[in-house]
Chain A
Amino acid sequence: MSAPAALPLPAPAPLHEALLQQVQALDGHALWWLSGYAAGMAQRGNAGVASFPVAATAPGLAQAPRISIVYGSQTGNAERIAATLDARLRDAGLPTRLLRADAYPTRELKDETHLVVVISTQGEGEPPDDARGFVEYLLGPRAPKLDGLAFTVLGLGDSSYPLYCEVGKQIDARLGELGGQRWLPRADADADIDSIAIPWLDDVALRARELLTEAPVRTATVTPLHPRTTANYSRQHPFLAEVLANQRISGRESTRDIRHIELSLEGAGLHYAPGDAIGVWPRNPAPLVEQIIDLMGFDAAAEVTHQDKRLSLTAWLRDERELTRLTRPFLLAHAARARNEALDALLAAEPAQLSTLFSTHQVIDVLQRWPASWTAEDFIAQLRALTPRMYSIASSQSAVGDEAHLTVSHVAYRRDGEDRWGAASHELAELSVGEHARVFIEHNPRFSLPADDDRDILMIGPGVGVAPFRGFLQERISRGASGRHWLFFGNRHAQSEFLYQSEWQPLAKAGRLKLSLAFSRDVVRSIDGDPLPAGPRYVQDCLLENGEEVFTWIEGGAHLYVCGDATHMARDVHAALSLILQRHGGLDADAAQATLEALQAQGRYVRDVY
């Protein structure tokens, strides 16, 4: 196997003539961006470094004014009119783009200068199916100020219904409310569409020409370079991030509650790169705290001092102590008090059995199962301090700006008729839009995109392990990366657990993403026999099935990323990669292992597993 391409040497080589010339040709805006980018690259690889500066906008190119025509159509009429308008304006030499509402990138709305909306109203004042997302965004709290926008709306409807042209009216009102200027007053077209639409088309075409010659050229904003940001917020001093969205993304048939959570980092001065994590400081669930206090006969309001900190017992248990995770020191101390033969036997037993105990029992389970008495002070002293939980960030700031998205599996189950939860996942799952989570950024420079956008990347991320890859793809797509992307995803069922399916599909269709999927419990049933697996069961099976091509990618310099469960998945994936190197690279097991270790050393095979 040929040696994989090496990373750049640490000592900077003199710049090539050609490269120097290119740099000299850049304008001021682009140079600012380039300096930040280069400084950031230089900082990679240093552990524990502060925020990695990311330019908030693309290199400075003036945004030429252009008319965006967005349509929402159910039966094709709105689409037809929008397309006609688009053709007319282009024939007149005007720059336009024509988009169906569900293809409109809502992040670009704040930069829009000229917007035409052609939209029909269905039934009881409803938008067409394809336009729901767009309308929700526009009417919702996250719609941006639109002071620089000139717009006009054509609504289609049927006056024999109440709420005639309701959606067109709402959009027109909202755009005005957000600061937009009406280019033409709203028009409403009834069932005899053309009687309104044709004169409207004429009016728009006439005004378009006038407007564009008036419009000032918008220059891109320049984000000054952030030197090593002394972020005000940190692990010790977390930021109160407002929840912008908390959406279940597992289908109703799934027994798992997986959440997509969007947090606002506005005003935090925090920056992250794809691959970084968010740390969340949880609070223990109130019912659990009450239950423990009750069970142990404590006084909830009693003040307890420990290591110079004085708080109520409730506050200690809620904010300062691990309750949902059992620790060995606590268990030993509890066993000493419980003096229970069964528990003592367990503690003396095989490590494997004991580790099962830790993975299936929370503190309260131990307290219930093997009663013992504690004083509040001793209890607080013996419990471990609460720690933050880390979640790989599922977004890239180049796509979402001052936001961080998380993919969280809500740990919630029943034990002997009682509820048990994971502390952070439960708190996050229960947060409503507008409430806050206490967060900080933890950089993960090892698990980051290749500096070179030409590199192919192989991403192996079953379940919520897919989270950082959403950020990776957002980043690479927004950078126009030319390298290829291959995502290996798995879960139990395709129909209800194919996380972010509707986001991957358009990328796959556009040829920007290769998807290999494994759904472990999906079967093809049989009338008179046993069901058969529907396809590969686990991501490692996908890897092996595609072994030859995986090998070719690795040979070509691809970077491999694995994210997710440490215990089984990472180990099995590693074994599969080794097998692939053996089968297709003609290596023996030892050489394959050595190659994988070399890739790891070079930063071409990185893992974020937990």
Chain B
Amino acid sequence: MSTHCVEDIKRASAGLRGTLLASLADATTGALADDDQTLIKYHGSYQQDDRDVREERRRQKLEPDHSFMIRTRTPGGVTTPAQWLQLDRIARTYASAGLRITTRQAFQFHGVIKRELKPTLQAINAALMDTLAACGDVNRNVAVSANPLDAALHARVQGDAAALSRHLLPRSRAYYEIWLDKKPLHEAASEEDPIYGEAYLPRKFKIGFAIPPYNDVDVFAQDLGFTTIAKDGALLGYNVSVGGGMGASHGDPETYPRLGSVLGSIAPDQVIAIAEAVVTTQRDWGNRVQRKRARLKYTLDDRGVDAFKAEVERRSGVRFSPAQNVRFVHNGDRFGWIEGEGEGRCAHLTLRLLSGRILDRDGQPHLTGLRAIAERLQQADAEGAHFRLTANQNLVIADVPSRLRADIDTLVREYALDLHAHASPLRRNAIACVALPTCGLAMAEAERYLPDFLTRVETLLVHHGLGDLPINLRISGCPNGCARPYLAEIALVGRAPGRYNLMLGGDHRGERLNLPYRENITEDRIIKELDVLFSRFARERRQDERFGDFLHRVRVVGPGAFAVELIA
């Protein structure tokens, strides 16, 4: 869709209302009117169809099998057991494939049909959650490191993140009117939006808070990143980075992933002012003519980081201090039990969920199992116990009092939720986006393909004596990069059914972009290429050297790399 189109739709939408009410009432189709399909994103939903049956239904003279994806706004992925149980009920009633944890710590449901959209959103609301601004040209779900070393620090940062998420919500009351049957207010001016104006942002906007030494949120992939500066458990401030972003289009050199540029550091109480200044500057400076160049990363490259920084300082009235040195050790999750400190000796348990998909499958009743865990926590009045979704699509059961640990362990085993205990490091850390059959943008499989692909790579690693090697591997069904592929040590970016670009040379901290290695190749070819590289790695690696770093050192990728054609 051209920029012109989307910009016009936003402006003409009467505060994100469009013709949604009429679209919802139109029984001749399971779809919304065209413009409403854009607007519903701001309400937290995407219209989709089952691409597996698209062609079959065309022949059957039936419209595509339309359904909706709904995404929650869950800053830092924090969810209470009561909320979990309601979401579980919602998934079983209205959704087609269980619960899905996204790479931004939100819940997703797929397969909701149009006439059940409203009841679903009402049910979410009844859990004191919402889906506002989970999609669209607005600030999205705010990510927070899920399992940092310091619990008090987490609480503090989580508080900042939640406040920021609320502060950056669109002012429109459309959501409440359309889904929650609230009466429109009389005062026309009450919906003026000082932050978003009339046409919201030029594109999506993503904010993440990272608590070193863990960069699980991939803070340098965020449009706006806050990295905590702490000492002895006290929050001193944040490093601020801007202009990270994962999206690209195949073959279009005007689009590319970018790592955030560090502007400096601020005090904790300056978060909102800075965030607002960054968002409004992007609102005003961002490219609204060429939608493919609209993200903040391009604004920075077009206008210059220094100019941007100066504008942010001007608007916020805050001067950046020099950035502090921070160190990240990795961007993965810490699986299993981690002890807490302090009274009651609570602990966190991080579970591995492949692609964040929570379903009851043969031998793996994960949805039922997590429901049982949530019920147990509730029954036992485990005050403070809660869930945290991670940005790696995994789940933390947090603040579990020690008296309940044994029960939780039993349930985890009983419901086969203990993948983390026996999966290879490769399998524990891999990320895949949803892709087919629901994502309209997918060019190739991702989530559905991940388990088998991992098995093939694991076999290869074992063959080379590298079975325990932690590798960051990510699969994205298209170059938009929702699985943050451009930071991975090995990434597959979908080109066409069964074909991917093979990217290599990211790191394990989320601090280095990878590079294209081979384009448009099939799985067999990918495995052949990895075979050659693993073989070299096994022979030539230095002590504790990681795969991505190795590839740079020996010039397989990176400046000075020479292309080596595989002689098959």
CB interface residues, A 16-30, toward B, < 8 Å: none
Cβ-defined contact, B30 with A499, below 8 A: no
A360: Cβ under 8 A from any B Cβ: no
A124 to B279, CA, bound (A): 42
Task: Confirm or deny: B546 has a beta carbon within 8 angstroms of a beta carbon on chain A.
Answer: no
Instruction: Let me know if A502 and B58 touch, CB within 8 A.
Output: yes
Q: Name which of A64-72, A295-303, A519-527, A577-585 contacts chain B.
A: A519-527
How long is the Cα–Cα vector from A372 to B519 in the complex, in angstroms?
A: 75
- Determine whether B422 belongs to the interface, using a CB cutoff of 8 Å to chain A: no
**Which residues on B sit within 8 Å (CB–CB) of A499?**
61
CA distance A76 to B499 in the complex (A): 22
**In the assembled complex, A248 has its CB within 8 A of some CB on chain B:** yes
**Taking A501-B61, A503-B61, A525-B93 as contacts, is the C-beta distance between A515 and B28 under 8 angstroms?**
yes
User: Which residues of A221-257 are within 8 A (CB) of B?
Assistant: 247-252
Contact stretch, chosen from A327-335, A490-498, A590-598: A490-498
Query: What residue of chain A has the Cβ atom nearest to residue B89's Cβ?
Result: A527
Q: Is the CB of A524 within 8 A of B115?
A: yes
Q: CA separation between A252 and B55, bound complex, in Å?
A: 12
In this assembly, does A588 line the interface, its C-beta being within 8 Å of a C-beta of chain B? no
Q: Is A395 engaged at the interface, CB distance under 8 Å to the other chain?
A: no
For the complex, is B9 an interface residue (Cβ under 8 Å from A)?
Answer: no
Q: Does B190 contact A (CB under 8 A)?
A: no
Contact A250/B119 with A504-B28, A505-B28 known, Cβ cut-off 8 Å: no
CB-CB under 8 A from B262, the residues of chain A are none
B496 at interface, CB cutoff 8 A: yes
- Check if B497 sits within 8 Å of A158, measured CB to CB: no
Q: Is A122 at the interface (CB under 8 A from chain B)?
A: yes
Given known A-B contacts A122-B496, A124-B496, A124-B497, A524 and B519 have beta carbons under 8 A apart: no
Verify B61–A160 contact, CB threshold 8 A. no
A494 touches B30 (CB 8 A): yes
**The one of B28, B65, B119 that contacts A525, using a Cβ cutoff of 8 Å:** B119
Report the bound CA distance from A526 to B120 in whole Å: 9
Which residue of chain B has its CB nearest to the CB of A516?
B27
Q: Closest A-chain residue to B25, C-beta based?
A: A535
Cα(A340)–Cα(B63), bound, Å:
54
Q: With an 8 A cutoff between CB atoms, is A517 at the interface?
A: yes
Q: Is B361 an interface residue (CB 8 A)?
A: no
Establish whether residues B29 and A535, one from each chain, have CB atoms under 8 Å apart when the complex forms: no
Instruction: Establish whether residues A249 and B93, one from each chain, have CB atoms under 8 Å apart when the complex forms.
Output: no
Q: Does A500 contact B (CB under 8 A)?
A: yes
Question: Contact at A508–B28, with CB atoms within 8 Å?
Answer: yes
Minimal beta-carbon separation of A538 from chain B (angstroms): 14
Specify which chain A residues have a CB less than 8 angstroms from the CB of B60 in the assembled complex. Answer: 247-251
Tell me if B123 is interfacial: C-beta within 8 Å of chain A: yes
Q: Given contacts A122-B496, A495-B113, A525-B94, is CB(A260)–CB(B520) below 8 Å?
A: no
- What separation, in Å, do the CA atoms of A165 and B459 have in the docked complex? 38
CB < 8 Å A-B pair total: 81
Interface centre among A191, A494, A496, A524 (most CB of B within 10 A): A494
Inter-chain contact B61/A502, CB cutoff 8 Å: yes
Whether A346 is near chain B, meaning CB under 8 Å from some CB there, is no
With a cutoff of 8 Å between Cβ atoms, the chain A residues found around residue B90 in the complex are: 527
Instruction: Give complex CA distance A527, B519 in Å.
Output: 47
Inter-subunit contact B116/A525 (CB<8 Å): yes
Q: Is A161 an interface residue (CB 8 A)?
A: yes
* Complex: chain A residue closest to B56, CB-CB: A252
B59 at the interface (CB under 8 A from A): yes
A517 to B26 alpha-carbon distance, docked (Å): 10
Alpha-carbon gap, A534 to B113, bound state (A): 12
Question: In the bound complex, how far is the Cα of B553 from the Cα of A434, in angstroms?
Answer: 65
Interface residues of B in 46-77 (CB under 8 A from A): 53-63, 65
A185 within 8 A of B: no
Contact B251 A191 (CB under 8 A): yes
Q: Do the beta carbons of A502 and B251 come within 8 Å of each other? A: no
Task: Report yes or no: A160 in contact with B30, Cβ–Cβ below 8 A.
Answer: no
Interface residues of B in 18-34 (CB under 8 A from A): 27-30
Q: Do B89 and A160 touch (CB < 8 A)?
A: no
**Distance in Å: Cβ of B565 to nearest Cβ of chain A:** 15
Judge whether A251 and B27 touch: CB under 8 Å.
no
A450 to B184, CA, bound (A): 48
Q: What's the Cα separation between A499 and B61 when bound, in Å?
A: 7
Looking at the complex, which one of A132, A494, A495 makes contact with B58 (CB distance below 8 Å)? A132
Complex Cα distance, B55 from A494, in Å, reads 18
A124–B496 CA distance with the chains assembled, in angstroms:
8
A251 x B57 contact (CB < 8 A): yes
* Contact pattern, A 522-553, Cβ under 8 Å of B = 1, otherwise 0: 10111110000011000000000000000000
* Contact bitstring A156-191, B, C-beta under 8 A = 1, else 0: 001011000000000000000000000000000001
CA distance A494 to B114 in the complex (A): 12
Q: Contacts A249-B60, A251-B62, A501-B61 given: A158-B251 contact, CB under 8 Å?
A: yes
Given contacts A133-B58, A494-B30, A505-B28, whether A527 and B93 have CB atoms under 8 Å apart is yes
Please list the 7 inter-chain residue pairs (A to B) with the smallest Cβ-Cβ separation, ordered nearest first.
A123-B496, A502-B61, A249-B60, A527-B89, A515-B28, A501-B62, A517-B27
Q: Can you sample 23 A-B contacts with CB below 8 Å?
A: A76-B2, A132-B58, A191-B251, A247-B60, A248-B60, A251-B62, A251-B65, A252-B53, A260-B61, A494-B30, A495-B30, A495-B65, A496-B62, A499-B61, A501-B28, A501-B29, A501-B63, A502-B58, A505-B28, A508-B28, A525-B119, A527-B90, A534-B115
Known: A503-B61, A524-B119, A527-B89. 9 other contacts (CB 8 A): A123-B497, A129-B54, A248-B60, A249-B60, A252-B53, A495-B30, A508-B28, A524-B116, A525-B116
Q: Which residues of B contact A (CB under 8 A)?
A: 2, 27-30, 53-63, 65, 86, 89-90, 93-94, 113, 115-116, 119, 123, 251, 443, 496-497, 499, 519-520
